[in-house]
Amino acid sequence: MKRQRKFAPGAGPASVLFLLLSISASGQTPNRALPRTADGKPNLNGIWQVLNSAAWDLQDHTGALGVPPGQGVVVGGQIPYRPAAAQKKQDNFTHRATDDPAETTCSMPGVPRATYLPFPFEIIQTPKLIAIAYEFAHARRNVFTDGTPHPDGFPDFWMGDSRGRWEGDTLVIDVTNLDERTWLDHAGNFHSDALHVVERYTMINPDHIMYEATLEDPKVFTGPWKIGMPLYRKIEKNVRLLEYECVYYLQDLRYGNAKPVGVQP
């Protein structure tokens, strides 16, 4: 009889994924099979997308009308909420149909949620600047890799301030100044204005990137926690980002054929 492979108790899909990600990111020998830019860095240029349901809920969840079932992407399975924050998260879940900013007002999704929305995004890589363009709500962000720090006194805004660096073949992006109004998913997981995100993009072959994000927010969580998932390169013929006019669609839904008045910045 064929022996079934077993994992240690509590080693769910997210834990196994994190183990694989750690192994791939810890190697010191450069992967010679990776496509590289002129300056020798892994070439992340292209259009990428997740194939999971983290946008609906970062943790394990069953399916419902309009919500696909999914395995969680939180390493360890649980988000370490403080007691009062856990109550707020539950209230968010109860009112998710009317209170989720991305779903109800087409607000910018913030980081890291922009990565795992069910929409593609494009990475445009240069030695000193990496731009990321998202199909959802025309969201954009610039990742400065020129060694400059986060500016003092910079206001919080939807997509935050991103500063990148390379650790071997892994692109590490430090993100601060994130607007507290964004949610982490449609299930009501949230953060405060103290959120600090560190993302890691590790290309493991020409068409796959292992993505990891560590989230810290002392106002909401008892400690840092991580998510991890693969990103898939889109290879369809003539692939490109398309127009998703979220605000226009909401106006049609709410006001019938009302004339669009513009896209929310």
Token pair, residue 167, equals: 């650790």
Residue-number span of the structural domain to which 81 is assigned? 45-150+167-237
Measured CA to CA, the distance from residue 92 to residue 157 in angstroms comes to 21
**Are 168 and 30 a contacting pair, CB within 8 Å?**
yes
State the pTM of this model: 0.84
Measured CA to CA, the distance from residue 17 to residue 21 in angstroms comes to 6
- Would 199 be classed as within a structural domain? yes
- Would 16 be classed as within a structural domain? no
Measured CA to CA, the distance from residue 101 to residue 82 in angstroms comes to 22
- Would 260 be classed as within a structural domain? no
- Would 158 be classed as within a structural domain? no
Q: How many residues does the chain have?
A: 265
- Would 136 be classed as within a structural domain? yes
- Residue 71: is its pLDDT beyond 50? yes
- pLDDT tens digits along 107-134: 999 999 999 999 999 999 999 999 999 9
Least confident of 49-63, 81-95, 231-245: 231-245
Name the pLDDT band for 168 (thresholds 50, 70, 90): very high
Q: Mean pLDDT in the chain?
A: 87
Closest residue by Cα to residue 113 from 45, 34, 50, 23: 50
Q: What is the mean pLDDT of residues 56-79?
A: 95
- Would 75 be classed as within a structural domain? yes
- Would 212 be classed as within a structural domain? yes
Looking at the structure of the chain, the number of domains it has is 1
Q: What pLDDT score does 125 carry?
A: 98
Measured CA to CA, the distance from residue 234 to residue 46 in angstroms comes to 8
- Would 26 be classed as within a structural domain? no
Q: What pLDDT score does 135 carry?
A: 96
Q: What pLDDT score does 15 carry?
A: 53
Measured CA to CA, the distance from residue 221 to residue 70 in angstroms comes to 23
Q: How far is CA 152 from the centre of its chain?
A: 25
Closest residue by Cα to residue 156 from 174, 138, 175: 175
